[in-house]
């Protein structure tokens, strides 16, 4: 089973955007490693001229910074790997929590949407049969719209729960003026391709993306 | 490491560790550095005191670096602003230079290139 042609195009655009965000993040890691290593070199050069000026504690902290930045870079590369493989199969059994983790990780690469808090799930991690790439795209658009509404210092809480009509990804903490993500033609395409329902509870400030347990059955 | 007679630099970047390391390296070479981690803080710094140069990232959490560039140059014409970004493409470079940036550097930046730009002339007008 494949998605509607328009939706597949949306998925491709999403992968391109995600790759750009991730390459930006990797370049930032490399810039930090480069500058920190350069600083260690500067401090060593100073100490060679005057050994009293060597500060071993500072050198230790800078070494630790490099290790932590390399770990950050490794996590970003893992994220890229997961995103790249999400297009391997058009429809697959998907751990929804895992999708939220990947998209939250992508969001954290962006300066303006770093305040994502995950809400713990009750019970078993929900799995559904869906199109992983398109689900990531839809969730990314929802998070992007949410952070454009709350601002870079805002916080959006994301939770996953199983309900009577499928699995729900809920974004909490939206401001009163939030208008949803309904206006984009791309969102409509994704919604149709995923047989998803999007509901905005303005009073509670919650956006819900409700996904069927099985896309094959929902389309039948 | 040379003495730049405390020429003052404002570094605007939300990558805090990068900013701190670069600031320290410039200070070891005699520059005086301030750090801002978002665009509005940078503009607030620029309102309060003059700087000889601004090193500016484009992707900031609150406002885009190009907006900071425009507003900084409107407030302080002639201020030497050098863009340092991990994100910008050729179109961004052209726009930034047209807006008045002195240079457009892509991260990771070679310190020698940055120093050459900072030491180029004493002008700044900030």
A86 has pLDDT over 70? yes
Distance from C-alpha of A198 to C-alpha of A211, rounded to nearest angstrom = 9
Strands A156-163 and A116-118: parallel
From 3.90.79.10, 3.90.110.10, 3.40.50.150, 3.40.50.2300, which CATH number describes the B2-119 domain? Answer: 3.40.50.2300
pLDDT tens digits, one per residue of A5-19: 677 788 888 888 889
Going by pLDDT thresholds of 50, 70 and 90, the confidence category of residue B125 is: very low
Can you say how many angstroms the Cα of residue A67 is from the centroid of all Cα atoms in its chain?
23
CB atoms within 10 A of CB B23: 22
Calculate what percentage of chain A has a pLDDT beyond 70: 97
May I ask the CATH class of domain A92-219? alpha beta
Instruction: List the single residue in B1, B18, B22 with the smallest CB-CB distance to A28.
Output: B18
Say yes or no: A85 contacts chain B, CB-CB below 8 A. no
Say yes or no: A54 contacts chain B, CB-CB below 8 A. no
Say yes or no: A31 contacts chain B, CB-CB below 8 A. yes
Q: Do B87 and A42 touch (CB under 8 A)?
A: no
For A53, how many CA atoms within 13 A lie in the half-sphere containing its CB?
11
B:21-80 residues touching chain A, CB 8 A cutoff: 21-22, 24-25, 28, 38, 59-62
A:130-169 residues touching chain B, CB 8 A cutoff: 151-153
Going by pLDDT thresholds of 50, 70 and 90, the confidence category of residue A204 is: very high
Q: Do B18 and A46 touch (CB under 8 A)?
A: no
pLDDT tens digits, one per residue of A96-144: 999 999 998 888 887 677 788 888 877 788 999 999 999 999 999 999 8
Strands A92-95 and A197-201: unpaired
CB A107 within 8 Å of CB A79: no
Lookup: tokens for A69: 């930045």
pLDDT tens digits, one per residue of B79-100: 999 999 987 788 999 999 999 9
Q: Residue B57 class from Cβ within 10 Å (0-12 exposed, 13-18 middle, 19+ buried)?
A: buried
For A39, how many CA atoms within 13 A lie in the half-sphere containing its CB?
27
Predicted confidence at residue B43, as pLDDT, reads 96
Q: Is the pTM of this model over 0.80?
A: yes
CB A117 within 8 Å of CB A158: yes
CB atoms within 10 A of CB A54: 13
Instruction: List the single residue in A24, A45, A65 with the smallest CB-CB distance to B17.
Output: A65
For range B93-120, the mean pLDDT: 93
A3 has pLDDT over 80? no
**Domain coordinates of chain A in residue numbers?**
7-85, 92-219
Say yes or no: A112 contacts chain B, CB-CB below 8 A. yes
Distance from C-alpha of A180 to C-alpha of B65, rounded to nearest angstrom = 27
**3 state SS of A197:** strand
Can you say how many angstroms the Cα of residue A79 is from the centroid of all Cα atoms in its chain?
9
pLDDT tens digits, one per residue of B10-50: 999 999 999 999 999 999 999 999 999 999 999 999 999 99
Average pLDDT, chain A: 89
A1 has pLDDT over 70? no
| Radius of gyration in angstroms for the set of CA atoms belonging to chain B, rounded to a whole number | 13
Comparing alpha-carbon positions, the chain B residue that sits nearest to A37 is B21
Task: Select from A111, A116, A151, A155 the residue whose CB has the most chain B CBs within 10 Å, as the one to mutate to test that interface.
Answer: A111
- Strands (DSSP E) along chain A, which ranges? 92-95, 116-118, 127-130, 156-163, 166-172, 197-201, 206-211
């Amino acid at each position: 089973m494949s998605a509607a042609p328009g939706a597949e195009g949306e998925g491709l655009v999403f992968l391109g955007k995600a790759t750009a965000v991730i390459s930006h993040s990797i370049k930032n890691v490399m810039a930090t490693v480069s500058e920190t290593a350069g600083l260690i070199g500067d401090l060593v050069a100073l100490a060679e001229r005057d050994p009293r000026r060597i500060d071993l504690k500072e050198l230790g902290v800078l070494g630790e910074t490099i290790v932590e930045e390399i770990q950050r870079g490794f996590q970003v590369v893992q994220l890229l790997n997961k995103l790249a493989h999400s297009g391997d199969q058009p429809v697959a059994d998907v751990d929804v929590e895992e999708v939220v983790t990947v998209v939250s990780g992508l969001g954290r690469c962006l300066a303006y949407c770093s305040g994502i808090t995950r809400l713990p799930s009750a019970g078993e991690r929900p799995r559904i049969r869906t199109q992983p790439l398109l689900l990531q795209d839809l969730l990314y658009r929802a998070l992007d719209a949410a952070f454009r509404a709350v601002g870079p210092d805002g916080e959006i809480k994301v939770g996953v729960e199983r309900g009577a009509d499928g699995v729900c990804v809920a974004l909490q903490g939206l401001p009163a003026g939030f208008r949803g993500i309904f206006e984009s033609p791309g969102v409509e395409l994704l919604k149709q391709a995923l047989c998803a329902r999007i509901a905005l509870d303005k009073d509670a400030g919650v956006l819900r993306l409700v996904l069927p347990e099985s896309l094959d059955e929902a389309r039948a | 490491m040379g003495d730049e007679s405390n020429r003052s630099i404002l570094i605007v970047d939300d990558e805090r560790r990068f900013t701190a390391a670069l600031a320290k390296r410039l200070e070891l070479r005699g520059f005086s550095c301030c750090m801002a981690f978002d665009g509005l803080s940078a503009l607030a710094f620029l309102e309060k005191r003059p700087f000889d140069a601004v090193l500016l990232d484009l992707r900031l959490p609150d406002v885009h670096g190009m907006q900071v560039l425009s507003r900084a140059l409107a407030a302080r014409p002639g201020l030497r602003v050098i863009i340092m970004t991990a994100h910008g493409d050729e179109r961004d470079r052209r726009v930034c230079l047209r807006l008045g940036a002195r240079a457009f550097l892509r991260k990771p930046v070679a310190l020698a290139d940055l120093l050459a730009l900072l030491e180029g002339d004493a002008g700044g007008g900030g």
